[in-house]
Every structure is written in structure tokens, then in C-alpha cells.
Structure 1
Amino acid sequence: MKTKLVTLIFIFFLVANSYEIKASNLEFKTISLTYQRIPSFQEIPFDSTLIAPFFSKYPKLKYLKPEVIKLYRKHNYQYLWFDHKGLNEFAKLLYDKINNLDQEGLQIDVPYNDKMRSLFQNSNNIKKPNLDTELLLSSLYFFYADRVFKGLDVAKTTELDWFLPRKKQSYVNRLDSLLQDPSLINQQEKGLLGQYYLLKNALKNYRDIEKKGGWSPIVFPKNIKSLKLKDTANVILQIRKRLFITGDLNSDSGKKLFDDELLAGVLKYKKRNTFKTDSILLPKHLKDMNIPVNERIKTIMANMERCRWIPPSLTQKKQYITVNIPSFTLTYFIDSKPELVSKVVVGKTMNKTAVFNGDLNQIIFSPYWNVPPSILRKEILPAIAKNSNYLAKNDMEWVENRVRQRPGPQNSLGLVKFVFPNSHTIYMHDTPAKNLFNEDRRAFSHGCIRVARARDLAIAILKNDKNWTLEKIDSAMIGGVEKTYNLKTKIPVYIGYFTAWVDRDGTVNFYEDIYGHDIRLSEMLLSD
């Protein structure tokens, strides 16, 4: 028994000793591996004091210094643009993007582009990190993000009466994602409003047209006042060719006859250029067709710039209303789909409708019109001086020191008013002057927005509200007694200014620059 016990103790000792030796060896191997690991240069910080001398050397990029410092503070001043092979994948992609800014609708000089070109022409020889190259790439990344994703600064856009909220995004954080997956820079939904990418495709198409010679001016014969279906004239040959170039006609038959095929092309052209879609061609239509292709390209570029200012999240809201001033159109969206589209009248040149946003929170049926002091002074008082019966004739009355118009069919606000509080004192409303909606260019108001389908808009907004039936809405509109209803859910309203817009099917629509904002914007882009 004693012998067995000694034997067991001996075996246990051998096993334990063997385990200890193996564990010791394993630990040794682990330690050896740790000491053999050599950190990559991406983990070796550079001297942060060298950033200031870099911007002294490259002063054109100095305005980007705060962003660059913020970036490297976040990354403990480590190299970001190099891997074990040299310049990483995103560095090369960024260089390609920088050299193709014209595809983004930008005609600007890239600072120190010669230096960049030299670097990438010899990129295969760059095996070790270089601080100048590192900081230059980071600066040019922020330059690219600033121009392509952000656009003109708020101070400049405010000069254009643009008061819509600007998008906010950290381009420092975005770079982290791009370095890990460079393909993200081409993911459209990540960077800009979807319309931007549709305009980008339109820009390419119109530049292709320009390369092929564009289109020649069409001369409307002096002896012809208009062209209509079944007419025959030499000028029809020019019209066919013009409409074929821009895709309004699928083919150019070479006929002088104004036939059904040409009519289809004319109607398509008129629809996408804010003209009444009738079968008559007038000199004003040909004048519009004669706008050179390079001017259309400038228009597309200006509207691509506007898209940079708008948060992509805007179109992701459950419901919202947009008014595009140049197209004289209101659209009510629910779940990203148009629930209602209506013609509108906007402010005339002297009383521009501002570009801004608000939240629709009230519908007022049978509203009073409280005459603004400027209209009272400039229009109502002179009219009273000429005709003492003016107020009674227009169903108006004095209330203390102001004038208001009573509810009813003569009321300038019509039968319903849509309120979204704002500092511009602008709202949407019905109107008794329905004839103005038949005009091509509808800039006639003092700044507020007159809605052709005001009743339908009220019905659409309240259709899921149990408090309002169709009969109750109609009764409130013609009741002659002002009635205010506070909406249960506020509806965002966005007043925009787009002179070029691409439909989902790729159709490019052009609208007149009624306030001259395009001209000023193009000047800003060239001088920026």
C-alpha cells in the first residue's frame, strides 16, 4: 500500500511538472511574438507642431486648418493616408475625384493641383509616409467635402434670400468611414439630396449635346404668327431637329408638316418648360428653345449647388409640402409620394417670395384679410382718396387704425388660409382671382402663395381627421364666419427655388429665373 502511494505521488509530480513546463513554453512563445511585432507607421504619431509650418507653406489651404487639426487630434496625430504599400486606396480615389470636379458641376481651380499630380504620377515610388503628402491629402479631402457636399457658406446663400436650414454633417467622422470603405464616397444616399445625382446625370447629357454642337437658333418667319397642327412650313424642319436633340422627339422624320408626332414632342417640351400644354407654337416658345445649351448647363450647375445646401433627410419625413417658386407648383407629399399637386401664384419681382421653411399648424376657414401696412399705405389709401366708396365696394372695414376685408367670395385670401408661422409674414391661401392660374408665368402676389387647389389641399390634409368631413369643410369655407382649426400634427412646409429639376424618369424641367437668383449664384460660384 505504501509503495502504491509513493508511485501515485511520483506520477502526479511528473504530470504537474510537465504542465508547468508547457505553460512556461507557451508564455515564452507569446512574449516572443509580442516583442517581435513591429508597429506600422500608421501607429507612430508625427510631431503636431509641424502642422502650422505646413499651412504656412500652403497658404491657400489655411482656412481648412481647424478641420485638419480636429481630425488629427481625434487620431492622436497618426498617419491616415498610408498603408504598408504606400498611399492607400482612398488616397487614389480622392485624387481621381479632385480631378473630376467638373462632373460635380464645379468649375474651380484646385489649389496645389500640380503638386498632387506629381505625387500620384510617381505614387508607385512612395513607400514611406511623408508628412507634407499626408497633410496635403487631408486638406484636399476637406476642400473636396467643402465644395461638393457643403457648397457656398450660409452668409452667401442668405444674400440670395435662401433661408432654408442648411445640412449639418461632420466630415471628420465621414472620413473614418471612407478610409475603411472607400466605395462609400459613391453611395448617393449618404452624401447629398437625391435630386443632386439626377441633375448630375442631366449635366453629363447636356455636355454631350454641347460636344456634338448643341442646337442652332430657330428663326420664326415674320409672316407667321403661330404654328398649329396640320400647318406646313420650312421652320418646322428646324423645330423637329431641335426637339430631337433634347429627346422631346424620338426621331427626326425631316417632315415640314406639323403632324401628330411633332405635336407630341411640342407638348412634352412645353410641359417641362412651364408652358401651357396646348397645340399652338408661338414666337415665345421658339425664343425659349433658342436658349443656348451652355446656358442650360449653367442652370443645371446652379441647381446642383442648391442641392448641396439641403439635408437629404428632408425628403424622408412622413409628410411635407414643397413649393417651388420658379415652377409655380405646390406638392403635398405623404410617404415620399405626391398626394396633391397644385399650381400656385408667387410674389412678383418687387415682392419676392422668400426661400424658407415653416410648420403648417393652422387652417383658417372663411378668413379675414388684415391688410398689411405697406399695402394700406401704397394701394388702399390712394384708392380711398379717389373713391370714398372703395371700402364698402370691396367689403372692407376699418378696425381701429387698420383695414381688414370681411370673409366671403370677394376676400383676397379666398375661402381658406394655411398658416405656418414665420418671420417673412408669408402664408398660403385660396384666391378669388382664379384666372391668373391660366398664365404661364404666375408671379403676381405681394409675396404670399395663392393655391389653385386650396379646397383640395384642405381636404387632403384633413382626410384622416375625424373632426372633419367633406361637408363640414365646405360648410366652413362658405360660412362667412372665420373659423380657425389647429392641426393635430404639424406639417413641414419648404419654399424652394429650383430653375432646373429632374423627374424620376429622367425628364429635365427648366423654369424661368424669375428673381434673377441664378445669375447671382453663378457669379458667386465663379468668384468663390
Structure 2
Amino acid sequence: MSDLTSPNPSRRAHSRAPAIIGLACAFLLFAALAASMHTRPFLPPKVAQEHMEYWLLEGAKRVAGEVRLRHLRNIEPFYLRRDYMPVWLDNYELTAAGKELLELLRETAVDDWRNYGYSLDTLEREMLRMHNQPEHATAIEVLLTDAFLSYAEQSLNNELLPDTGEADHPTVKKVILSGSDRITPDHLTSLLTEAVRQNRMDDLLASLAPQHEGYRRLRAELSRYRAIDRTGVWRPLPHSLALSAGDRHADVPYLRWLLDQYGDLPQGALSWLFNGNEDIPLPERIANPDLTQAHYLFDGPLRTAMSNFQERHNLKVTGTLTPETISQLNVPPYQVAQRIALNMKRWRHLPDDLGKRHIMVNMADFRLELVNQGQAELDMKVIVGNLERRTPVMTDLLRIIDIAPTWTVPHRIAGSYLLPKLKRNPNYLHQKGFDVIQWRKGKAVKVDTAGIDWKKYSAKRLPYTFVQRPGKDNALGRVKFLFPNDQSIYLHDTSQPQLFKLDKRALSSGCVRVEKPRELAEKLLAAQGNWERSRIDDAIDRNRTNRIRLKEPVPVHLMYWTTWVDDHGRLQVRDDIYQRDLIGGTAQHASL
């Protein structure tokens, strides 16, 4: 009996063997699965070649089922020389250059300003299908190269510059390159070939977009607003809604979430309310909310966030939800994204080097900064062109400063502005210090105006030139800053300084009137060595005209930014005073 009941070690070990083997197999299986999850899928060269040949030969008119390649004549020989090996893909993943190109295409096309021809909808769809699918991966490769050639051609030929072609101030300059100056797809294919050969794809892409800090900051904000749009949570607030600190309302959680998304809510201010989590959760819409709960309270942090939002949008800062604030909050994030993308393009007007010391005017903000080594040395208000004579976007070199200048009235202003005044009051010329000049036999002759009947003349038939003498009534004020250009635009003082008290200052005939002309002249003339402030003031007070050529011309940039990121990292938004942001996609939801 003892033999029957006593344990047998050999039999026990034998019975456990299958279980151990099973466990080992399971472990190896899971290990293999885990390894496969971290192993990059491999695209065999022969497979890539086969699919690339198909898209470039048989399927060139319907890549990914729908896209007709725009640059097939250039793309096919480019890949033939490479044995159809990809340049934007590393197996089934985009290379760093491929990711950067895709981002450039997205940020360029998001404003719907024009039909860019990048086939982005197809690209985005194929990106979702790419994993382990060679036909989708190679379609992406071909579409990216086609889009690259379109984008590079637009970029290098100045086709991505907004705010051009306006007739407010006629110019002979051509912005978009044409004829023999134009960069062609043939040139671009050679550039791409050389960039691949030298492993300098990043440099090639960088040369096609602005590299200024302001551009990069806007790129980050564009990503922010596109992400907010993609949540699908955004909705407009009721126009009748009015909230201030201490109020409770069902829309407060949504308002808090929205201002947090926009970056206006103080960071970490409400982590106590959400169990230590600094990210404000997506708000839930509840039919009958319990308003006594803490997150329905319009509290101090929310008031601070509201003030930040109002300040960024140049609204009256109250910290309360006002009708003007609701109007701005009710601008859909995709429309803000479109404005950001268009303002990113405006950086393309500027040279790579703004100048160690330069003048930057933002017309939409009615301000001027004299910048020295990245820091604002002087800041002031400006008055810009009215809606019929908008100040043009331009960049040039300020070379001349006129102290106590005369003003030769442009013919268009003489006919449209001065002549009507003379018909009503012939003594106006004497009162405002004008001389009248007529050209006779090639010489300027001063004319006695006593016997002139101004009612006989029209704007088109006015044979006189009007020159205003220096003095307090001179329309240019006491100082003029010249950067010679064919549109007769310059910076100058004004005889109406009271206009700087206005918030909206689109009032001039195109030139930029500056609030602090003497201070600006002093800063710019400091390097001359012999024009200290006392001498400038003395020349002005004595109406002694002086023309001074700067030893070192200063770059001046007249720009139009309705969105930009300030030095504190905050997106600033201003009214589109010149209606230059009226772009195609603002009317309906674009795919962001």
C-alpha cells in the first residue's frame, strides 16, 4: 500500500513538462510580437521599384486613383536615374525632409488663398493607408515630389507673396518673376538631384521658406489652432451671454477650456480643481448642470484669462465677457488658422537679414519700432494710408533725412485735395505757406497767384506745381525720412499731432506719419557725429532746411501683419483695416 500512495518524483517532473513547454512557447510568441511592434516595416527595393514604375508610367494620370501628375516630364527621368529609389521615404516612414515638406505644404495651403495644386487631401488619405502597403507608400513618394516642384516653383518665383498688385500707388516693379528670370521645373529638378546627392535636403527646404523667428513662432500658433479645430469641440457662444467674476453659468467650463487652449489661462492655475492635472479636460454639455459645483464659477484665473485674451486682440481690458469679446471668441479656430497662414506668407516679403539695426512698421498695429540687435530701441505710434490710398508693403533702405523739409505736393493730391480748397478759398495758399511753380522753357518759375481763377482748372488740367515752405503748417511736419522708391512713400512728421490720440489711424495719403520724429532723427543721426539733438532742434526751430545723407543707410520694412507672436510668446490679433485678409477659405470650413 505504501508503494501505491507514496509520491513518485520522476512521474511528477514528467507531468509538468508539457506545461513548462507551453509557457516557454507563449513567452517566445509574446516576445516575437513585442519585437515586431518595435521593428520597422521593410520596403524591399524591388517592390518599391515595381510600384514606382507603375505610378510614373501606366498610372501617371491617376496616382492614388485620382491625381494627374503636374510635373511628370521632370519626375520620371529624375527617378529613372535613381533606379526608382524614394527620396522622401525611409521604408514605410517619412524621412525628416519628408515630414518637413509635408508641413510646408500644409501651412502654405491652409489659407485657401489660391489653388496651390499640392493634392494634399490625397496625400493625407494615403498617409493613413501607408503602413506595410507599398502601393500607398510609393504613391506618397511620387505625390510629394510633384508637390515639391509646384511649391518650390511658387516660392522661388515670388508667387506666394500676398498684398501685391494693388493699384493704390502705381509702380513699375514686377513682383512675380517671368520670362528668362523665371525658375522652371527643370531648374528645380536639378536642385533636388544635387540636394539628394550632397545629403542637403534640409538646406534645400529651408531655402524655400522664411527662417525668421517671427515665422517660426507663427508656425507653432498655426499648429495650435489647427489642433483646436480638429477636436471638433469648438462652438460659438451665445451673443447675449454676459459674465463677470463671481457669476455661475453652464458655459463656464467650455469658456475655461477654450481660453486654456488659446494659451490665455494662467498655467497650472486650476490644477487643484482637476485632481492635480494641469490640462483642462474637454467640457461635457449637461442638460441640467449643478451650478453650485466649483467648475461652473467664473473665478479669478478665468478673469485673468479673459483679460489676456482681450489684450491680445486689442480690446478694452475688462476681465469680463463683453459683446466685443464674444465676437472675437466666436471666430472659428480654422479661420484664425487661415489668417495665421496668410500672415506667415507676409514674412516672404522680407530679406533673410533684416539688418542689425532696422525700422519695422506694422500698419495693422499702427506702430513703428526702431530695432537694434533684436531689441526695440524706440517705439511709437504711426498714421498710415487711408482705405483708398493704402500704404504699400515694401522693404528698402532709409538713406536721407530732411530737417525742416519743404513739401512738393504730388499731382494727384494737388488735383483731388488742394484744388477744391483753392476754389473755395483762394487765400488758402498764403495761409498755409505755399509757393506756386510753373515750368517755362525747362525752368521752374515762381508764379504770382493773385490773378489766377482756380475755378477754370480741373484735376486733369492743372499746369502748376505747389511747394509748401518749411514751418509748423507744413504737411510733412518738421522731419522727413526718405527711402527712394517709385511709389513716393516715405516716413514723416505731421502738422496734426492730435490724430495720434485716435485708436484707428488709417488717415494719410499713403506715407507713414510718425509720432516721435525728433527722437527718431536723433537716434538715426547719432552715428553721423555732428548732428546731436540740440542742433536738430535748432534747425527745426529756425526753419532751416537741411538734407542729410546717412553714412550707414538703415533698412526700413513696411509690413502688414494682422497676426504675429510677440516677445512674450503670445499671439497678437488685429483688425484687417485694409481688407487684405479676405481669402477664399474664410467663407466655409477648410480641411485643416
Counterpart-to-counterpart distance in 1, 2:162 and 2:259: 37
How far is the alpha carbon of 1:362 from its aligned partner?
0.4
Q: Rate the CA distance shift 1:126–1:424 in 2: closer, same or farther, 3 A.
A: closer
* Percent of residue pairs identical: 24
- SS for the counterpart of 1:158 is coil
Number of residue pairs matched? 462
The one-letter code sitting in structure 2 at the alignment partner of 1:489 is: E
> For each residue in 1:161-210, what CA deviation from the matched residue of structure 2 results, as whole angstroms up to 9, or x when unmatched?
79797899975436644565578379969843333321121122223333
Q: Rate the CA distance shift 1:114–1:106 in 2: closer, same or farther, 3 A.
A: closer
Alignment of 1:407-446 (within 5 A): 407-446=470-509
Q: Which of 214, 217, 220 is residue 234 of structure 2 equivalent to? A: 214
Q: Rate the CA distance shift 1:284–1:415 in 2: closer, same or farther, 3 A.
A: farther
Q: Rate the CA distance shift 1:54–1:125 in 2: closer, same or farther, 3 A.
A: closer
How far is the alpha carbon of 1:117 from its aligned partner?
5.9
How far is the alpha carbon of 1:506 from its aligned partner?
2.0
Asked whether the 8 Å contact 1:240–1:254 carries over to 2, the reply is no
- SS for the counterpart of 1:341 is strand
How far is the alpha carbon of 1:245 from its aligned partner?
5.1
Deviates more, 1:92-101 or 1:208-217: 92-101
Residue in structure 2 matched with residue 3 of structure 1 by the alignment: none
Counterpart-to-counterpart distance in 1, 2:331 and 2:122: 36
Counterpart-to-counterpart distance in 2, 1:164 and 1:254: 57
Find out whether 1:142 has 2:126 as its counterpart.
Answer: no
Counterpart-to-counterpart distance in 1, 2:523 and 2:582: 37
Q: Which of 104, 120, 131 is residue 110 of structure 1 equivalent to? A: 120
Structure with the higher helix share, 1 or 2: 1
Asked whether the 8 Å contact 1:203–1:297 carries over to 2, the reply is yes
Deviates more, 1:182-191 or 1:481-490: 182-191
Residue in structure 2 matched with residue 193 of structure 1 by the alignment: 211
Residue in structure 2 matched with residue 305 of structure 1 by the alignment: 345
The one-letter code sitting in structure 2 at the alignment partner of 1:321 is: I
Alignment of 1:60-459 (within 5 A): 63-64=70-71, 68=75, 72=78, 77-79=81-83, 81-82=85-86, 103-104=106-107, 106-107=109-110, 109-110=119-120, 113=123, 120-122=130-132, 138-143=145-150, 145-146=152-153, 153=159, 158-159=164-165, 172-173=190-191, 176-177=194-195, 181=199, 184=202, 191-194=209-212, 195-210=214-229, 211=231, 213-214=233-234, 216-217=236-237, 219=239, 241=256, 243=259, 246-250=262-266, 251=269, 265=305, 268-275=308-315, 283-307=323-347, 309-310=348-349, 313-315=352-354, 317-400=355-438, 401-459=464-522
- SS for the counterpart of 1:493 is strand
Counterpart-to-counterpart distance in 2, 1:57 and 1:212: 32
Q: Rate the CA distance shift 1:76–1:280 in 2: closer, same or farther, 3 A.
A: closer
Counterpart-to-counterpart distance in 1, 2:534 and 2:488: 31
Counterpart-to-counterpart distance in 2, 1:404 and 1:220: 56
Deviates more, 1:231-240 or 1:489-498: 231-240
Asked whether the 8 Å contact 2:67–2:119 carries over to 1, the reply is no
How far is the alpha carbon of 1:291 from its aligned partner?
2.9
How far is the alpha carbon of 1:509 from its aligned partner?
0.6
> For each residue in 1:404-439, what CA deviation from the matched residue of structure 2 results, as whole angstroms up to 9, or x when unmatched?
222112221111010011111111111132232222
Counterpart-to-counterpart distance in 1, 2:247 and 2:517: 43
Counterpart-to-counterpart distance in 2, 1:504 and 1:183: 31
How far is the alpha carbon of 1:354 from its aligned partner?
1.0
Counterpart-to-counterpart distance in 1, 2:508 and 2:557: 18
> For each residue in 1:358-397, what CA deviation from the matched residue of structure 2 results, as whole angstroms up to 9, or x when unmatched?
2211000111122222222122221122223222232333
Counterpart-to-counterpart distance in 1, 2:576 and 2:146: 36
Q: Rate the CA distance shift 1:480–1:235 in 2: closer, same or farther, 3 A.
A: farther
Asked whether the 8 Å contact 1:328–1:345 carries over to 2, the reply is yes
Root mean square deviation, CA, Å: 4.9
Residue in structure 1 matched with residue 569 of structure 2 by the alignment: 506
Asked whether the 8 Å contact 1:80–1:134 carries over to 2, the reply is no
Residue in structure 2 matched with residue 44 of structure 1 by the alignment: none
Counterpart-to-counterpart distance in 2, 1:214 and 1:485: 56
- For structure 1, the residue ranges without an aligned partner over 5 or more in a row are 1-39, 42-49
Asked whether the 8 Å contact 2:92–2:131 carries over to 1, the reply is no
Asked whether the 8 Å contact 1:344–1:442 carries over to 2, the reply is yes
How far is the alpha carbon of 1:479 from its aligned partner?
2.5
Asked whether the 8 Å contact 2:389–2:508 carries over to 1, the reply is yes
- SS for the counterpart of 2:504 is coil
How far is the alpha carbon of 1:455 from its aligned partner?
1.7
Deviates more, 1:192-201 or 1:405-414: 192-201
Q: Rate the CA distance shift 1:463–1:105 in 2: closer, same or farther, 3 A.
A: same
Q: Rate the CA distance shift 1:286–1:483 in 2: closer, same or farther, 3 A.
A: farther
How far is the alpha carbon of 1:471 from its aligned partner?
0.9
Counterpart-to-counterpart distance in 1, 2:135 and 2:389: 62
Residue in structure 2 matched with residue 469 of structure 1 by the alignment: 532
- For structure 2, the residue ranges without an aligned partner over 5 or more in a row are 1-44, 47-54, 111-117, 271-294, 439-463
Q: TM-score, normalised by structure 2?
A: 0.63
Q: Rate the CA distance shift 1:98–1:402 in 2: closer, same or farther, 3 A.
A: closer
The one-letter code sitting in structure 2 at the alignment partner of 1:389 is: N
- SS for the counterpart of 2:470 is coil
The one-letter code sitting in structure 1 at the alignment partner of 2:469 is: R
Asked whether the 8 Å contact 1:90–1:182 carries over to 2, the reply is no
Q: Rate the CA distance shift 1:103–1:428 in 2: closer, same or farther, 3 A.
A: same
Asked whether the 8 Å contact 2:429–2:435 carries over to 1, the reply is yes
Counterpart-to-counterpart distance in 2, 1:433 and 1:157: 29
The one-letter code sitting in structure 2 at the alignment partner of 1:110 is: L
Q: TM-score, normalised by structure 1?
A: 0.70
